[in-house]
Amino acid sequence: MFHGSYVALVTPFKDGEVDLERLGALVDYHIEAGTDGLVPCGTTGESATLSHKEHELVIEFVIEKAAGRIPVLAGTGSNSTSEAVSLTKSAQAAGADGALVITPYYNKPPQDGLYSHFAAIAEECDIPIVLYNVPSRTGIDLLPGTIGRLSAIANIVAVKEASGSIDRTVEILAECDITVLSGDDSLTLSLMAVGARGVISVAANVAPSQMAELVQLAASGDFASAGHLHHQLYPLMKALFVETSPIPVKACLEMRGLIEGELRLPLVGATEETRQLLRGILAGLEIKV
């Protein structure tokens, strides 16, 4: 169901509030650039510091602005199962095409707890669910066996895999026939070579047409051309994580005049060293700043 280059959309702020004007412009920008889908309110969207009202506002606004032109996969996860159910129901009511649900962070449940968490959300909501595994952020790893068990639930259709391991995709697909999406830009090509169907991408915020082309080439089996593009984009992919994401990606978009660049505490703006690095990389990609 979900495949291609989905952008992990930033949330623009202005004077402490969600900047809906810039957010709407970003939606149009991605559709025009060939991005395959939009993911509001994920990690890159600073979901951790959005209020519930803001969370729902951003998702509803992106769905309305996209107007069915490309799918919207709404971030609705939480470390509280009841809260994740509530956010997912809200996204479903707003018309989202799917929900991206992160593993519960901080409370570190065992695998049976993870299974029960996602199963409860899927039971309460009819919307397609994409599991999101990012152990470096959450402190817990959703293992292939658990993903295999969860894949038997009809509306759990995919997993965003960001463990940093190519082997993990192989292990998941050995367990079940679920769609795997890369959660690491720099591993997208490698993961697609072993069966992944696309990426939920931070780099697509900055280079949307290039990321979409890379995924299309890999999906068609043209790994030589996809590899050439991967090598061009690799410095950007890595530089977007020299500081905690989304600090660098917001700096890039600010330099391009697409957003104000404002972040919410405890995140702060990029250092001048990071900005200089990013300027050089953008110049090398012929992206104007």
The residues annotated with a catalytic role in the active site are: 132, 160
Using CA atoms, how far apart are residues 282 and 68, in angstroms rounded to an integer? 31
Give the chain's length: 289
DSSP helix/strand/coil, 8: strand
Q: Which helix (H) or strand (E) holds 182?
A: strand 179-182
What is the token pair recorded at 289?
């700043």
First to last CA, the chain: 36
Asked whether the beta carbons of 26 and 12 are under 8 A apart, the reply is yes
Nearest-10 Cα torsion for 22, 25, 26, 30 = 180
Nearest to 115 by CA among 136, 83, 143: 143
